[in-house]
Amino acid sequence: MKILKALFTVTLAGLASQAMAQAGSESGSTQACSATIEADDAYHFIPLHIDIPDTCKDFTVTLKHVGRLPKAAMGHNWVLTRKADMEPVAKDGILAGATNNYVMPNDQRVIAHTEVIGGGETTSIKFSVALLKPNESYVFFCSFGGHSPLMRGTVALRKTN
C-alpha cells in the first residue's frame, strides 16, 4: 500500500512538472515558481533568501520543520511582509497568539503566511506575485512568540528578462 501510494505521488509530481514545463515554455520562462524553506529546532531558516521571478503568476512556499520539538514549544510559520512592516506585524502576532497562528486576523500588512507547524510537519502557502513591487524590500520571518529576531530572511522580486 505504501509503495502504491509512493508511485501515485511520483506520477502526480511528474504530471505537475510536465504541466509547469508547458506553462513555462508558453510564457518564455523556465523559472521555478516555488521554494522550499527548512526550519529547525535551533531557530534557523534555510535558505535565508528567496528570489521570486516576475514571470510567475503565483508563487508557492513550502515550509518544512525538520526539527523534532512539538508545535507548542518550537512552532514555526512563514510570514511575508514589507521590511518596514515586520516589527509591528511580529508584535501584533504575539498578541494574536497560538490560536491565530501568531498572525493578527485580517492584517493587511501580511502579504502571505503559513500556519504554525511543529517538528516533522510540512505546510505550504501560495500567493499572487502581483502583490509584490519591484523596488520594495520584503522579508520573511517566523512570528511565533520571540522567534522573529532570530528567524528572518529576505525576499526579492527578480526581473527575469
- When binding is defined by CB under 5 A, the residue of 144, 148, 155, 157 that contacts Zn ion is 144
Q: Count residues near Zn ion (CB under 5 A).
A: 4
Residue closest to Zn ion when measured from CB atoms: 142
Part in contact with Zn ion (CB under 5 A); list of ranges 6-14, 89-97, 129-137, 143-151: 143-151
Rank residues 142 and 155 by Cβ distance to Zn ion and give the closer one: 142
Residue 65 interacts with Zn ion (CB under 5 A): yes or no: no
Q: How far is CA 12 from CA 15, 25, 88, in A?
A: 5, 20, 41
What's the closest the beta carbon of residue 155 comes to Zn ion, in angstroms?
A: 17
Burial of residue 161, with CB atoms counted within 10 A of its CB: 0-12 exposed, 13-18 middle, 19 or more buried: exposed
Q: How many angstroms separate the CA atoms of 98 and 84, rounded?
A: 24
What's the closest the beta carbon of residue 7 comes to Zn ion, in angstroms?
A: 35
Sort residue 41 into left (φ over 0), alpha (ψ -120 to 50) or beta: alpha
Part in contact with Zn ion (CB under 5 A); list of ranges 27-35, 64-72, 82-90, 138-146: 138-146
Return all residues near 130 (Cβ < 8 A) that are at least 6 apart. Answer: 57
Residue 147 interacts with Zn ion (CB under 5 A): yes or no: yes
The contact set with Zn ion (CB under 5 A) reads 76, 142, 144, 147
